[in-house]
Amino acid sequence: MSTGARNPLGIHAAVFAGGWSPQECRHAVSAARATGYDVLEIPALDPSAIDMKDTRRVLDDAGLTGVCSLGLDIDADISSPDPAVAQRGEERLFDALEIAAGLGGGYLGGVVYSALGKYNRPVDPRGRDNAVAAIGRVAARAAEEDVTLGLEPVNRYESNLINTAAQAVQFIDDVGAGNVVVHLDIYHVNIEERSVAEAIADCGEHLGYVHVGESHRGYLGTGSADLDGLFRSLADVGYDGTITFESFSRAVISPDLSDRLGVWRDLWDDGEDLARHAREFMAARLSARA
């Protein structure tokens, strides 16, 4: 956690692009810049699909900071008790770390501790041990590259390992690395936590990245997520790290990711209008709490 300066405002690239071809990269960067953001969060589900050097040039030309996020696959899951599956997941994380380090934003977060998807049983204790050990090794390499790792607690339908802020903090304590933080997402907080304030309090000094999203993944302020409570609580604890808007619609993102996230309908079809509204919404609440 840091204190002092204005929060950098970020946006997830899936608001603008469903993949990361050179054309999609340029469109997402241009749209993020045009709608007033400081940070672009680029999904690294397939790190090999990202041309890191080209992306870095495009980001630098636009004056944007690039960070990465991902969720692992069932067949490449560091929380699996199967050593071969866990190893594939760890290799995926190291590939994504290379991209994150090369982009220069110094951050790699998301569901980096398990697969992103619904499990049919509780986590195997052997699998949790595998995940703790793997994150420890990735964090060690990340520290050498000045990259912070963020663990995003997600709802019970998207992981069986870390669903709450308290679980994330316990996992971080078990890893024992100083560059691992909690990546808190209000969409998931709205499902799993007793309150936003309690979730942020549970994070304590480990809060390092924040996702803002509405309960239905659409326009901010039109659902049931306690967004005012979020900004109030962030101000109360003096958080001034990155705050990133995240939203998904089948109108933009790939069918594969739509299916994994359960995005079955289009709540919006104009990413730039959505992004502009979200930035105004977040900036107004940050100013009110300044």
Which element (helix H / strand E) includes 40? strand 39-43
pLDDT tens for the chain, residues 1 to 290? 333 348 999 999 999 999 999 999 999 999 999 999 999 999 999 999 999 999 999 999 999 999 999 999 999 999 999 999 999 999 999 999 999 999 999 999 999 999 999 999 999 999 999 999 999 999 999 999 999 999 999 999 999 999 999 999 999 999 999 999 999 999 999 999 999 999 999 999 999 999 999 999 999 999 999 999 999 999 999 999 999 999 998 877 777 777 777 878 888 889 999 999 999 999 999 999 87
152 given a catalytic annotation: yes
The catalytically annotated residue of 41, 90, 98, 152 is 152
The catalytically annotated residue of 98, 158, 193, 246 is 246
Question: How far, in Å, CA of 37 to CA of 35, rounded?
Answer: 6
Q: CATH code for 9-289?
A: 3.20.20.150
Question: How far, in Å, CA of 281 to CA of 105, rounded?
Answer: 24
280 given a catalytic annotation: no
pTM: 0.95
Strand bridging mode 180-185 / 65-72: unpaired
Cβ-based neighbours of 24, under 8 Å, separated by 6 or more: 16, 17, 18
Domain boundaries, the chain: 9-289
